[in-house]
């Protein structure tokens, strides 16, 4: 029997189930806003001279889950897992950075590696990265995955799809549907989260490959670097993409001005894409990503350079550039994310769950009218780099931890 740790929240805060993004908050929630506590972040900002663009853009009031729940390590011994995805069978696909796609049962049993995964560039931030199911998986059994790919002129983010066998043990018919251009010779900032929208179009998040040499390409529509891409499920380009037909622009581009987006979640109530972006020293962002908009990197940014000093001209705002919905300074190193829409935790309904790598926690963000109004840090006692989070069919929450001895962990109501 696997060990289970019971966690019971010990706080007098009353946090009601929260309406999300355009829905009015319940009367109970409105009445209890004043009861929310001090921000969970108590460390000084890396750049204390910066000010948020609006109230609540950072350091939202702390909230505490009232329901008792259990945290259960379901499996361990994973090699730096990057993503997880539940299959209709209840089994879980888990990617490992080294290039393995692993299969686990609903009770955490290791069912072995899935064969047929292409070779990957497994170094530093590169490797086998995200995994997602086709919106029509029930009929086409297609699995989509992203990875860092070695190329003749460097390496880059590649997205492919393949058919999963009926026994879930192998992939076949692999087809590359997107390659980020240009290639580059380092092993940083691949982005690489995958998300399908309601119409079955695929969003691919990309980084600007980190170096000062490539950083300006986040503002260059002739490059995929530092962008979020939108394509059809077969790799073709939607006719209504914002830059289709624009001379010198890559038609796959949906938005620009991103540093390194490693989290993405479709809001099930509004259909909009929310993205989690790594900042430097300070400046991790949560953005609502809309077509044709510029999210500012590196022209505007919160935080500072790793080596110290201002990022560019030190600006945090400029006309025509988008502000994040929320940012962290110091950073949590935001990874994967998921909106909670399940029956197991009614008080989490509509909340955004964001995995924290450097922060070693799972952030629960309470959302009202597209603003963060409360924040909680879960799984802090695990002392693990939380890489990705998914909500299971039964409403339990599962995460993977990016460690040499990575874990697959389940959060479920107690009792």
Across 19-45, b (16+ Cβ under 10 Å) vs e yields bbbeeebeeebeebeeebeeebbeeeb
What is the biggest distance separating any 2 CA atoms in the chain, rounded to whole angstroms? 61
Handedness of CA 254, 255, 258, 262 (dihedral sign): negative
Task: Determine the Cα–Cα distance for residues 406 and 415; give it in Å rounded to an integer.
Answer: 27
Per-residue pLDDT of the chain (415 residues; tens, 9 = 90+): 333 333 333 332 223 333 333 333 344 443 344 457 899 999 999 999 999 999 999 999 999 999 999 999 999 999 999 999 999 999 999 999 999 999 999 999 999 999 999 999 999 999 999 999 999 999 999 999 999 999 999 999 999 999 999 999 999 999 999 999 999 999 999 999 999 999 999 999 999 999 999 999 999 999 999 999 999 999 999 999 999 999 999 999 999 999 999 999 999 999 999 999 999 999 999 999 999 999 999 999 999 999 999 999 999 999 999 999 999 999 999 999 999 999 999 999 999 999 999 999 999 999 999 999 999 999 999 999 999 999 999 999 999 999 999 999 999 999 8
Task: Determine the Cα–Cα distance for residues 228 and 255; give it in Å rounded to an integer.
Answer: 5
pTM above 0.85, yes or no: yes
Point out the catalytic residue in the list 80, 91, 121, 189.
Answer: 189
Residues pairing with 100 in the sheet: none
pLDDT of 35 reads 53
Task: Determine the Cα–Cα distance for residues 39 and 348; give it in Å rounded to an integer.
Answer: 18
Task: Determine the Cα–Cα distance for residues 410 and 92; give it in Å rounded to an integer.
Answer: 12
The end-to-end CA distance of the chain, in Å, is: 16
Domain locations along the chain: 5-413
φ/ψ of 75, rounded to 5, equals -155, 155
Taking phi over 0 as left and psi of -120 to 50 as alpha, with beta for the rest, 167 belongs to alpha
Q: Are 234 and 210 in contact (CB under 8 A)?
A: no
φ/ψ of 388, rounded to 5, equals -145, 160
pLDDT of 28 reads 43
pLDDT of 415 reads 81
Task: Determine the Cα–Cα distance for residues 400 and 194; give it in Å rounded to an integer.
Answer: 17
Q: Are 343 and 397 in contact (CB under 8 A)?
A: no
Residues in the chain: 415
Q: Are 337 and 277 in contact (CB under 8 A)?
A: no
Return the SS3 of 261: strand
In a 13 Å sphere around the CA of 139, the CA atoms on its Cβ side amount to 2
The per-residue DSSP string of 306-353 comes to TTSS-STT--S--TTSPPPSEEESS---EEEEEE---SS-GGGTT-EE
Taking phi over 0 as left and psi of -120 to 50 as alpha, with beta for the rest, 154 belongs to left
Task: Determine the Cα–Cα distance for residues 115 and 93; give it in Å rounded to an integer.
Answer: 12
Handedness of CA 52, 53, 58, 63 (dihedral sign): positive
Residue 289: alpha-carbon gap to chain centroid: 13
Topology of the domain covering 5-413: Neuraminidase (2.120.10)
CA distance to 142, 246, 256, 290, per residue, from 294 (Å): 32, 16, 5, 9
Which tokens is 96 given?
């490992």
361 as an active site residue: the answer is no
């Amino acid at each position: 029997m696997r060990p289970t740790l019971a966690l019971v929240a010990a706080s007098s805060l009353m946090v009601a189930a929260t309406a999300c993004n355009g829905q009015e908050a319940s009367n109970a929630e409105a009445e209890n806003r004043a009861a929310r506590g001090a921000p969970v972040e108590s460390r000084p900002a890396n750049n204390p001279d910066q000010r948020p663009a609006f109230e609540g853009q950072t350091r939202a009031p702390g909230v505490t889950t009232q329901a008792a729940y259990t945290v259960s390590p379901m499996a361990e011994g994973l090699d730096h897992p990057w993503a997880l995805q539940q299959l209709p069978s209840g089994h879980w696909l888990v990617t490992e950075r080294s290039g393995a796609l692993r299969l686990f049962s609903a009770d955490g049993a290791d069912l072995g590696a899935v064969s047929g995964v292409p070779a990957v560039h497994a170094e530093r931030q590169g490797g086998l990265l995200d995994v997602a199911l086709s919106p029509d998986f029930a009929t086409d059994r297609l699995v989509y995955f992203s990875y860092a790919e070695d190329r003749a002129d460097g390496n880059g983010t590649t997205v492919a799809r393949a058919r999963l066998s009926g026994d879930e043990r192998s992939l076949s018919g692999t087809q590359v549907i997107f390659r980020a251009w240009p290639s580059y010779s380092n092993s940083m900032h691949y982005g690489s989260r995958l998300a399908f929208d309601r119409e079955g179009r695929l969003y691919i998040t990309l980084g600007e490959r980190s170096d000062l040499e490539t950083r300006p390409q986040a503002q260059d529509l002739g490059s995929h670097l530092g962008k979020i891409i939108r394509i059809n499920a077969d790799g073709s380009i939607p006719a209504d993409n914002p830059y289709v037909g624009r001379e010198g622009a890559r038609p796959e581009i949906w938005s620009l001005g991103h540093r390194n987006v490693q989290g993405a979640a479709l809001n099930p109530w509004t259909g909009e894409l929310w993205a989690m972006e790594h900042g430097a020293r300070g400046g991790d962002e949560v953005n609502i990503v809309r077509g044709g908009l510029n999210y500012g990197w590196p022209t505007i940014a919160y935080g500072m350079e790793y080596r110290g000093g201002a990022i560019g001209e030190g600006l945090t705002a400029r006309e025509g550039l988008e502000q994040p919905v929320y940012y962290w300074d110091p950073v949590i190193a935001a990874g994967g994310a998921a909106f909670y829409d399940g029956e197991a935790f009614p008080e989490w309904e509509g909340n955004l769950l964001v995995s924290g790598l450097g922060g070693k926690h799972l952030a629960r963000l309470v959302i009202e009218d597209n603003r963060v109004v409360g924040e909680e840090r879960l799984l802090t006692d695990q002392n693990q780099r939380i890489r990705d989070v998914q909500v299971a069919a039964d409403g339990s929450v599962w995460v993977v931890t990016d460690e040499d001895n990575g874990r697959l962990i389940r959060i479920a109501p107690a009792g």
